[in-house]
Chains A and B, each alone.
Chain A
Amino acid sequence: GAVVSQHPSWVICKSGTSVKIECRSLDFQATTMFWYRQFPKQSLMLMATSNEGSKATYEQGVEKDKFLINHASLTLSTLTVTSAHPEDSSFYICSAGRDRGHEQYFGPGTRLTVT
C-alpha cells in the first residue's frame, strides 16, 4: 500500500513553454502533498506543501507564480512550471502524507529538461 505515481516520468520542453506534472496517490487519500526539487548529486529541497482544497504554502525563495500547485482532490496534486527556462531543468519529486501522520510516500520523480 501507499503508492504514489507521477506523470510524466520525463519531459523535454522548449524555453518559454509551460509544463504540468501530476502526482497521484493510488491507494490512499493524501491529506497533504509535498513537492521537492533535486539537482544532480544534491539533496531534496522542499518547494511547497499543499493541502486538499486550499492554497499551497511555498518555501522561501520559491516563486509561487512560476511554480503553480493545485491540489484539487485527495488523490491528485499538480505542479505547473510556467514559462520554463533552462535553469528550471531538474528532477521534481512529489510525496504524499495521510492522516496527518509523519510518513511521507514518495513518487518516482519527473525529470524536466528545458532546451
Chain B
Amino acid sequence: QQQVKQSPQSLIVQKGGIPIINCAYENTAFDYFPWYQQFPGKGPALLIAIRPDVSEKKEGRFTISFNKSAKQFSLHIMDSQPGDSATYFCAASINNNAGNMLTFGGGTRLMVKP
C-alpha cells in the first residue's frame, strides 16, 4: 500500500528557529514530492516541491532535502516566524491513468513562539 509517514506530529520552536519536518515513503514509483501549508479552516497551499533527481531545493526560507536511497525527504524552515504557525503536510505523487494522485503524510502542527 502506498504510504507516506510524517514526523513529528507537532513541533514548537522559538521565533528564528529552524523547524525540521521529516517524511518517509515506501513506493519507489513516486516521482514528485510536494509540501503543503494549511491554516485552520483553509485549503492546503503548495509551498515547495521536489523531484527525485534533485537532492535539495530552496525557495525563500523553505528548503527540501531529498534522500532517494533512504526514501526520505524533509522540510526545513529558516528563520521561522509566528506567521509560519500552521499544519504542514508532505505528499508524494504517482501518475496513473486517472491523473497524478497525491498521497499525504499525517501532518505536522507547527507553532512558532514569538
> Interface on A for B, CB 8 Å cutoff?
4, 6, 31-32, 34, 41-44, 46, 49, 51, 57, 91, 93, 95, 97, 100-109, 111
Contact = CB atoms under 8 A, between A and B. Distances in A.
A44 B44 contact: yes
B42 A109 contact: yes
Interface of B: 31-32, 34, 36, 41-46, 49, 89, 93, 95, 98-107, 109
Contact of B106 (A6, A43, A51, A95): A43
Q: Considering the complex of A and B, which 4 residue pairs feature the smallest CB-CB distances, nearest first? A: A32-B99, A106-B43, A102-B32, A49-B98
Contacts of A111: 41
Contacts of A108: 42-43
In this complex, the member of B89, B95, B98 whose beta carbon has the largest number of chain A beta carbons within 10 angstroms is B98
A108 B38 CA distance: 10
Contacts of B43: 4, 6, 93, 95, 106-109
**A contacts with B: majority SS:** strand
A100 B102 contact: no
A51 B32 contact: no
Contact of B41 (A95, A107, A109): A109
A19 to B, nearest CB: 18
A44 B41 contact: no
A106 B45 contact: yes
A113 to B, nearest CB: 13
Contacts of A97: 99-100
Contacts of B102: 34, 46, 95, 104
A49 B42 contact: no
B98 A102 contact: no
